[in-house]
Amino acid sequence: MMKVLVIYTGGTIGMVPSDQGYVPVSGFHDRVLEQLGSAADQLPEYDLVELDRLIDSANVVPQDWCEIARTLERHWAQYDGFVVLHGTDTMAYTASALSFMLRGIDKPVILTGSQIPLAELRNDALDNLITSLMLAASGEIHEVCVYFNGRLLRGNRARKVRSTGFDAFDSPNCPWLGQVGIHIDLRHDLLLPAGTPDFCIPQLDPSAVVALSVFPGMPARLIESALDDPRVRGLVLQTYGVGNPPDADLALIGALEQACARGVAVLNVTQCHQGAVSQGAYATGATLNRIGVIPGSDLTPEAAFTKLHLLLAQDLFGEQLSDALSHPLCGECA
């Protein structure tokens, strides 16, 4: 019989009301059993562990990704699948980070959460949890995924696209890996094959990567200020359309050029909800090619940010870093 480990990290799914609003608290498993009653016997066999520091996902930092990954690594041999309960605000970041730290895996890691806490009578928490448990026990998935409201998404392609709807997550540049209704229908042609687990969980410096989105009239000093800290080694730059910056602003382009010249990795991704960077399709984008900015293909901002973090932590630089950023490691880009 398949056995699943559920890791409760915090987030809306396990929150309860307080005088200050919803807060994450321990004792989630007891609340699950109370909701399920005798139906709990119909679930796949599972254990549940809680992180020592339960968090609202708005407070997630890179070290939290590492703690979750290390928890998975510690228990990898004892379980057939894993469910990570996480807040929705930064779930796409954590799913992306885990996909890069747990490459080549041979078991499912399913991240889920909810828009309404389990403690409320009307909620989306119970269905997301139950279905995630079933997916984790299926033996058919060998990658990090997000499951939410009937959609199974590749973790490093997922984005939170709605702030309040139950259909909060989508993967605009990648078909869903599965759809859940009366039946659980998986797209086996899209799922990654089982591999040989290659866990790489480095120490992450939260100061190493920053992200900026260009806007009309953006002053060059914003880039200069963001990169002034010598600990900053990477910049995710969100540009217009297919990767176009305001190239008529010579000071702004100059700030980017200086950053590239001193070894800062600048990764260009689109601000658009769907689509990819085609750096050089327009003359404005070609400017970035000239100064050494790395095109990010159809990476989501979350995947770009976490991938850059992980590769820099592995001390990749120059051509080796550029090549790794431009090519898929685990299905994160075309």
Shared domain check, 222 and 189 = no
Kindly indicate the confidence band of residue 280, based on its pLDDT and cuts at 50, 70 and 90. confident
Shared domain check, 191 and 216 = no
- CA distances to 1, 14, 109 from 146, rounded to whole Å, are 24, 17, 8
Of the candidates 200, 151, 18, 168, the one whose C-alpha atom is nearest the C-alpha of residue 87 is 168
Kindly indicate the confidence band of residue 39, based on its pLDDT and cuts at 50, 70 and 90. confident
The number of domains in the chain is: 2
204 in a domain, yes or no? Answer: no
Please tell me the pTM assigned to this model. 0.97
Catalytic annotation on 12?
yes
Spot the catalytic one: 9, 88, 90, 112. Answer: 88
Is 307 a residue whose pLDDT tops 90? yes
Q: What six digits make up the tokens of 331?
A: 């299905």
CATH label of the domain that carries residue 66: 3.40.50.1170
334 in a domain, yes or no? Answer: no
Shared domain check, 136 and 232 = no
* Percent of the chain topping pLDDT 90: 94
136 in a domain, yes or no? Answer: yes
Spot the catalytic one: 12, 90, 300, 306. Answer: 12
Q: Compute the chain's Rg from CA coordinates.
A: 20
Is 1 a residue whose pLDDT tops 90? no
Shared domain check, 46 and 122 = yes
Is 285 a residue whose pLDDT tops 90? no
Encoded amino acid at 326, one letter: S
Mean pLDDT of 176-199: 98
**How do residues 90-112 score in pLDDT, each as one tens digit?**
999 999 999 999 999 999 999 99
304 in a domain, yes or no? Answer: yes
Kindly indicate the confidence band of residue 214, based on its pLDDT and cuts at 50, 70 and 90. very high
Shared domain check, 254 and 219 = yes
Shared domain check, 234 and 85 = no
Shared domain check, 160 and 24 = yes
Range of the domain at 88: 4-199
Mean pLDDT of 146-159: 99
Kindly indicate the confidence band of residue 284, based on its pLDDT and cuts at 50, 70 and 90. confident
What pLDDT shows up at residue 37?
86
Are the CB atoms for 146 and 112 separated by under 8 Å?
yes
Shared domain check, 137 and 178 = yes
Burial of 292 (0-12, 13-18, 19+ CB in 10 A): middle
Shared domain check, 145 and 175 = yes
Q: Show which of 199, 222, 254 is a domain's final residue.
A: 199
Is 245 a residue whose pLDDT tops 90? yes
Kindly indicate the confidence band of residue 203, based on its pLDDT and cuts at 50, 70 and 90. very high
How many beta carbons lie within 10 A of that of residue 122, not counting itself?
Answer: 5
Q: Directed axis angle between helix 301-313 and helix 91-101, to 10°?
A: 40
Shared domain check, 26 and 61 = yes
CATH label of the domain that carries residue 287: 3.40.50.40
Shared domain check, 223 and 159 = no
Shared domain check, 172 and 53 = yes
